[in-house]
């Protein structure tokens, strides 16, 4: 059955590849972008009514609520919400003595609070979805058990917080039969991952789309890798 899907951070990187992949499969997609739609305009020309471009800044409640208003005019349900928007601060890769810790709160707002802001605002549409799923694109960098890094305080801490947010959301939404996942996509060649990364983001989107389809059990592990294997918190 064709699905209705919202993707945040859809202007580029993994979010853009999710939009492309779900459209190729004949689904209807709402693509959230901030101020630059990037390659989405070309997809709109190709897919027409199957794709709606919606301004959606996950760091800004008013922007998220405006996006809900816009999408409510177009559909009464969402089957999948993919929170792909994510950032590092400018000094994330600097050592502690140099990194600007004052940037941590903004990164936390985008990476950890953003997906919850989206889930909260879109909940009425998600509750109307068919076997609905909220997919938060997390990172193994948010695993405290696995952590070996000495930098990226802003990013790693925000992803650990996103994992907790995903667990709380999963607890809360179990009664509604809404699945919540926190997914480590793998190291991808995007603006964030850089040119030396292992994985192509489009191939990752193809793989993850199949993985999400295969997950039907609400009691499945929440924090998983791109094979669906559990990652320790
Ligand atoms: N790349 C990797 O190797 C890797 C590994 C593990 C996890 N991840 C996670 O995967 C997700 C996608 O990463 P990526 O590699 O595709 O990153 P990317 O290429 O840097 O793209 C980031 C996307 O997030 C959007 N974004 C940033 N701030 C936003 C905001 N406030 N509201 C809405 N959208 C916003 C950007 O929009 P603009 O174009 O407007 O800036 C862009 O579309 C992220 O959550 C990231 O943490 C990535």
* CATH number of the domain residue 153 falls in: 3.40.50.720
> Which class for 66: exposed (0-12), middle (13-18), buried (19 or more C-beta within 10 A)?
middle
Q: How far is the CA of 225 from the centre of ligand 1 (A)?
A: 17
Encode the chain (233 residues) as per-residue pLDDT tens digits.
899 999 999 999 999 999 999 999 999 999 999 999 989 999 999 999 999 999 999 999 999 999 999 999 999 999 999 999 999 999 999 999 999 999 999 999 999 999 999 999 999 999 999 999 999 999 999 999 999 999 999 999 999 999 999 999 999 999 999 999 999 999 999 999 999 999 999 999 999 999 999 999 888 999 999 999 999 99
- Structural domain includes residue 20: yes
- Structural domain includes residue 85: yes
Q: How far is the CA of 175 from the centre of ligand 1 (A)?
A: 30
If one residue of 61, 85, 163, 203 were mutated to test the ligand 1 pocket, choosing by the most ligand atoms within 8 A of its CB, it would be: 85
Domain coverage including residue 169? 4-224
Residue 85 near ligand 1, beta carbon < 6 Å: yes
For the beta sheet containing 51-55, the strands, ordered from the edge strand earlier in sequence to the opposite edge, are 51-55, 28-33, 4-8, 80-83, 133-137, 179-183, 223-224
Residue 15 near ligand 1, beta carbon < 6 Å: yes
Residues in the chain: 233
- Structural domain includes residue 160: yes
- Owner of token pair 């959606």: 56
The pair of three-digit structure tokens given for residue 22, joined into one six-digit string: 């779900």
Q: Where are the alpha helices (DSSP H) in 50-200?
A: 61-72, 104-108, 114-127, 153-173
- Count of the separate structural domains present in the chain: 1
Q: How far is the CA of 16 from the centre of ligand 1 (A)?
A: 10
Residue 193 near ligand 1, beta carbon < 6 Å: yes
- Structural domain includes residue 232: no
Please enumerate in sequence order all residues whose Cβ is within 8 A of that of 49, keeping only pairs 6 or more positions apart, or say none. Answer: none
| pLDDT at 38 (0 to 100) | 85
CA-closest candidate to residue 181, choices 151, 115, 211, 137: 137
């Amino acid at each position: 059955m064709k699905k209705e899907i919202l993707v945040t951070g859809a202007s580029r990187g993994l979010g853009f590849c999710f939009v492309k992949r779900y459209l190729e499969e004949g689904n209807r997609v709402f693509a959230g972008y901030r101020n630059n739609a990037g390659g989405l305009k070309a997809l709109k020309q190709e897919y027409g009514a199957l794709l709606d471009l919606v301004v959606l800044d996950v760091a800004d409640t008013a922007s998220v609520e405006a996006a809900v208003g816009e999408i409510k005019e177009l559909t009464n349900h969402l089957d999948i919400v993919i929170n792909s928007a994510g950032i590092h601060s400018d000094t994330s890769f600097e050592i502690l003595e140099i990194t600007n810790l004052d940037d941590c709160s903004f990164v936390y707002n985008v990476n950890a609070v953003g997906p919850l802001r989206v889930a909260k605002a879109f909940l009425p549409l998600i509750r109307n979805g068919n076997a609905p799923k909220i997919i938060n694109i997390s990172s193994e960098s948010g695993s405290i058990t696995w952590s070996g890094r000495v930098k990226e305080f802003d990013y790693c801490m925000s992803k650990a917080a996103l994992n907790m947010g995903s667990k709380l959301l999963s607890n809360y939404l179990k009664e509604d039969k809404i699945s919540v996942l926190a997914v480590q996509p793998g190291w991808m060649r995007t603006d964030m991952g850089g040119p030396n990364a292992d994985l192509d983001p489009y191939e990752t989107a193809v793989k993850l789309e199949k993985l999400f389809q295969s997950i039907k059990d609400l009691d499945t592990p929440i924090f998983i890798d791109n094979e669906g294997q559990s990652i320790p918190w």
